[in-house]
Amino acid sequence: MTSLPTAKTTLPTAQLGTTDMHISRIGFGAWAIGGSGWRYTWGAQDDADSIATIRRAVESGVNWIDTAAVYGLGHSEEVVGKAIAGLSEADRPYVFTKAGLVWDENDRAAAPKRIMAADSVRREVEDSLRRLDVERIDLYQVHWPDTGASLDFSDPDGVADAQRTPLEEYWQTMADLVKEGKVRAIGLSNHDVPQLEIAESIAHVDAIQPQFSLIKRQAADELAWAAAHHTGGIIYQPQHSGLLTGAFSAERVANLPDDDWRKGFPEFTTELAANLALVEALRPIAAAHHTTVSAVAIAWTLTWPGVTGAIVGARNPEQVDGWIDGATLQLTPADLDAIAAALRATGAGEGPIGR
């Protein structure tokens, strides 16, 4: 494939912070297309299916792709590079990627380490530019704060060791990459408000990327910070790893492949009943709008102050068709009240319910 199709549909867009990029309210998330063979895989994935899925997203009006070096240990970036091959910067979707999770090629099943030392970041950006086959990355993000520890979703703060790079140092490295023309804009993923304040004192934070969904709502403070500082807010997992698509059941969770990272996590085990009850409460809202549960869950995140766009993953074109309405769905005040009531009744998730 030498070129992506022209968008057949126009989606609403919003300016990403103070950058010159106006992004569709939904972007394509490329975590799952990294395939198998690493610690946080979603299972085996066919590259041809991945490229067809990216094509469907672009045809549907999506104008940005979010990936990371660590997804598939470089493989997701390679697939994205193949999908956009031959396109000029002006013609291709915006490409966002991330640095700071470094893996061991001799032990690909091991958890990657959170490292943002300057020499490591500079190696990473060159590798990402090569894999993506672009001259400049549109948004380069720090994936997690540097602790020097291995990434462990059950203990996301990790344990710092003597190799930790101070935020002031690694954010200056990121700012230098902009000056050098290797990246267009810089952002911080999974950083809290005090960390954002430190970074902003050194160079403007163009975008943040927190996890945010009906189930995980704790990033409200970070999104409020973004709104107050003219910083773009792109949120990840608005479908909460598939739980909010309406396609999950206890039986499906039990039958997830053993190498699927979701198997064994609380949202899919001890908290599953409440999460599935929330999904059932969303079905009447979806039906009233002649759309999907996925679209309702995504549209809810887009109503939240500070959210510029939502990253939504897919592994086949049909999944794109299932969530694309989320970019245009207008939830009514009555819908929002019903969703808030469902959150209270089911006890699903964590974080504030109202704005």
CA 309 to chain centre: 10
Residue 253 CA to residue 78 CA, distance in Å, equals: 30
CA 23 to chain centre: 14
> First-to-last CA distance in the chain?
45
CB 233 within 8 A of CB 208: yes
CA 34 to chain centre: 13
Query: Which value, to the nearest 10 degrees, does the dihedral of the CA atoms of residues 322, 328, 333, 339 take?
Result: 20
CA 93 to chain centre: 16
Q: Which of 148, 193, 137, 138 is nearest to 170 (CA)?
A: 148
Q: Which two tokens stand for residue 152?
A: 């462990």
Residue 71 CA to residue 349 CA, distance in Å, equals: 26
Amino acid identity at 274: A
Residue appearing with tokens 């009555």:
334
At 327, is the secondary structure helix, strand, or coil? helix
DSSP class of 166: P
Residue 353 CA to residue 105 CA, distance in Å, equals: 42
Helical pair 167-179 and 193-200, crossing angle rounded to 10 deg:
50
**Which residues does the annotation mark as catalytic?**
71
Amino acid identity at 272: L
